[in-house]
Amino acid sequence: MTLVNDYLGPAGGGAWFSDAQWLQALLRFESGLARAQADCGLIPEPAALAIASACAQAPLDRDSIAEQARASGALGLALVTPLQQWLQAHAPQGLPWLHWGATTQDAVDTASALLTQQALQALLAELHALVAALVELATRHAATPMLARSLLQPAQITSFGFKCAQSAAALQRSIDQLAQLAPQALCVQLGGAVGNGATLGTHRLAVEQALARNLGLGASGRSWHTQRDTWMRLAMEVAVCCGSLAKLARDWSLMSQYEVGEISEAARGSTSSAMPHKRNPVHCMQAVAQAQAVPPLAALLLGCMAQAHERALGEWQAEVAQWPDLWRHAHGAAAALRHAAQTLQVHPRRMLDHVASLRGLVFSEACVHALAPFTGKHEALAAVEQLAPLALEQQCELQELLLQWAADRTAPERLPLLRCALALACDPQQAVQASQRECLALLATHSAAAFEESTVNAEHTNTCS
Annotated active-site residue in 149, 173, 279, 311: 311
Instruction: For residue 148, give the 3-state DSSP assignment.
Output: strand
b/e per residue 348-381 (b: at least 16 CB within 10 A)? eeebbebbeebbbbbbbebbbebbeebbeeebbb
Q: Which residues, 6+ apart, have CB-to-CB distance to 76 below 8 Å?
A: 26, 99, 103, 104, 105, 106, 107, 108
Of 220, 213, 223, 164, nearest in space to 193 by CA? 223
267 HSE (CA, 13 A, CB side): 5
Q: Which residues pair with 145 in a beta bridge?
A: 159
Q: How far is CA 389 from CA 360, 377, 393, 394, 424, in A?
A: 11, 19, 6, 9, 21
Length of the chain: 465
Instruction: For residue 190, give the 3-state DSSP assignment.
Output: coil
Q: Does the active-site annotation cover 272?
A: yes
Q: Are 29 and 215 in contact (CB under 8 A)?
A: yes
Cα 345 to Cα 266: distance, rounded to the nearest angstrom: 6
Q: Which residues, 6+ apart, have CB-to-CB distance to 298 below 8 Å?
A: 235, 236, 239, 326
Amino acid at 259: E
Q: Are 91 and 50 in contact (CB under 8 A)?
A: yes
- Helices 45-57 and 75-90 pack at an angle, to 10 degrees, of 110
Annotated active-site residue in 272, 357, 447, 454: 272
Rounded to 5°, angle at Cα 205 from 311 and 52: 85
Cα 449 to Cα 161: distance, rounded to the nearest angstrom: 19
Cα 157 to Cα 70: distance, rounded to the nearest angstrom: 60
Q: Which residues, 6+ apart, have CB-to-CB distance to 277 below 8 Å?
A: none
Catalytic positions: 272, 311
